[in-house]
Amino acid sequence: MNLKIFTLMFAIQTAAWASGSVIGNGAGLVENMFQFAYQNLHGTFSECIAQAKCELTEAETLLVKNMRKVIELNRSNENRILFVSEKGQPDFFKTADSENHRIAKTGLNSATPIFVNLDLLYTPDGKPAFDYATITSILVHELGHQAGETNHAKLDIIGSKIKKNIHKKVQSHAVQLSEEQIEVSIINRHFPFRTSDITIAWQNVGSIAATKQVLATMTCKNPDDSLAGIEILNGHYTFLKKMTPQKSAHFGFGFWATLTCYSELSESFHQEQKQIEIEVNRGLVIRTVAVQDL
């Protein structure tokens, strides 16, 4: 899209955004998944490039490196993703005769937002229409445009390769709590070291990057050993409480963790297994309930 035309469209939309047809960092479950996926794409790109697990060609690798630069430029940009209701903005997502009702669109430079079609994010019964891996591939396509690539087919191929690799790493755990949906997502990475990213998205509330809080409770058996890596497996909900009239609620979530510990005394690594259980309330406050050695 021509930058001048895009800038004009951006200005025209300002009044509509103020009225609520765009939800910048909206509290919907899928909106939070978009933000989480964007946040994690830098690491996803780095892993694809360094370990060649995405099977990218030389030209595709160069383009992915440029996409990674776009993410770096927009780290603190609150408007990097904007959600637009097409019902309120007819034809906003029509970019060509064969491209009606697109899921997302953007411009050909890093300064333009990624606009996501709010009306396509949920099924008629309110369930998420896309999983984490698919959302990642959508963002890859739009980041490719922001990096200057105009060829849709090229970007779809790159997106499908990265989506395939993502499927192997992501654990998504969804549950219905009264009339609201909750999703706990875990991404295990092996580059540049073994680690896990955890996010919790609660419909109508928001989302939280829970990695730091959860990992703070995990230590090696020997206090002199250092925690050098972690991998989280077997995530599962442990207990749920229904909403009260005051909408206070909480849920429990458990998982197994494999810790990689480093001993300076023996200059060696070893692994330890633990079972963790956390409790999360509707204010997205996390409390560790139990930590047991396996």
Q: Which pLDDT belongs to residue 205?
A: 82
The whole-model pTM stands at 0.74
Among residues 152, 105, 139, the alpha carbon closest in space to that of 10 is found at 105
What are the residue ranges spanned by the domains of the chain? 3-168, 171-293
Q: Which pLDDT belongs to residue 21?
A: 36
Q: What is the DSSP letter of 107?
A: -
Cross-strand bridge partners of residue 128: 122
Burial class, 45, CB count within 10 angstroms (exposed 0-12 / middle 13-18 / buried 19+): buried
pLDDT tens, position by position, 137-159: 999 999 999 999 999 999 999 99
Q: How far apart are CA 103 and CA 94, in angstroms?
A: 10
Report CA 107 to chain centroid distance, whole Å: 22
Among residues 106, 81, 80, the alpha carbon closest in space to that of 93 is found at 106
- Three-state DSSP at 53 gives coil
Cross-strand bridge partners of residue 49: none
Q: In which residue ranges of the chain is pLDDT below 50?
A: 1-26
Inter-axis angle of helices 152-167 and 132-146, nearest 10: 150
pLDDT tens, position by position, 89-103: 878 887 665 555 688
Half-sphere exposure of 101 (CA within 13 A, CB side): 4
Among residues 105, 159, 113, the alpha carbon closest in space to that of 133 is found at 159
> What SS3 string covers 151-218?
CHHHHHHHHHHHHHHHHCCEEEEEEEECCEEEEEEEEEECCCCCEEEEEEEECCCEEEECHHHHHCCC
Inter-axis angle of helices 29-51 and 58-73, nearest 10: 130
Q: How far apart are CA 225 and CA 163, in angstroms?
A: 36
Q: Which pLDDT belongs to residue 239?
A: 87
